[in-house]
Amino acid sequence: MPPLFDAHSHLPRVGALEGPVLRRDHRRVVCGTCEADWPAVLAHAASHGQVLPMLGLHPWFVEDAAPGWAARLEGLLRSTPAGLGECGLDFARKEADRDAQESALRVQLQLARVLRRPVALHVVKAWGALLDVLREEGVPASGAMVHAYSGSLEIARELQAMGVFLSFSGDIQKPDRLSLRETLRAVSSDHLLLETDGASELEHVFETAARIRGIPVAELELLTWDNGSRCFRELWHEVVFPQ
């Protein structure tokens, strides 16, 4: 049975079980979204050997971040094998502080570059701004991924040319997301990842994606496993499977 890689998820909800039961050959990225999450993400990774932890400041929480958050994030990252994320830009709300979001993203991209850590990006209605930031800051050589990709095929091509991986969530299962399915079908095999985003069954996401791309599920599982090992290579070998 091929190994499985979930490129983006979150901590189990309060009151829920400890999350999905993971096979020994299953790896899962778990992202923090604000400072309050960071210790819990690290504790979760410490007790679940297959988890790749990511610590970041999500654009939704930038305006409420306490002063000094970036220094505290850097301190944790210097002492812990974790990546940067989830961070990014979300301009869906008219009242969003776009300048503050962009500043926070730049800080986290710079940390990813300096500390050689992968970065997971959240992007909603801010594709042009993201491309501008990535052109100016550069894509971290340690790996970058846009999670729950929802942009156009043209944007996807630009991001792939910059070396960014694109991860698709359970949204591909929605029959009305025709343009998203077309983008999934066209994305280069060496930049493709799949995820649950904490809301879907990973096996079902793989089944849908394989059907859309016209390839066997097992082939897609091996492909995304290999892509995950490249995108998250700075954390990949820190994962310790339980005996």
Does 51 score more than 60 pLDDT?
A: yes
Alpha carbon distances (Å) from 211 to 69, 71, 152, 214 = 43, 45, 20, 5
Class of domain 4-236: alpha beta
Res. 243: pLDDT tops 90: no
Buried-exposed string 112-150: b where 16+ CB fall within 10 A, e elsewhere: bbebebbbbbbbbebbebbbebbeebebbebbbbbbbbb
* Domain boundaries along the sequence of the chain: 4-236
Rounded mean pLDDT, 221-227: 97
pLDDT at 181: 97
Tell me the C-alpha to C-alpha distance, in Å, between residue 116 and each of 28, 78, 204: 20, 10, 33
Convert the pLDDT of each residue in 104-126 to its tens digit. Answer: 999 999 999 999 999 999 999 99
Residue 16 has pLDDT above 90, yes or no: no
Residue pLDDT, tens place only, 136-194? 999 999 999 999 999 999 999 999 999 999 999 999 999 999 999 999 999 999 999 99
At residue 2 the predicted structure's pLDDT band, cuts being 50, 70 and 90, is confident
* pLDDT value at residue 1: 74
Which has the minimum average pLDDT: 23-32, 139-148, 201-210?
A: 23-32
Determine the pLDDT at residue 237. Answer: 79
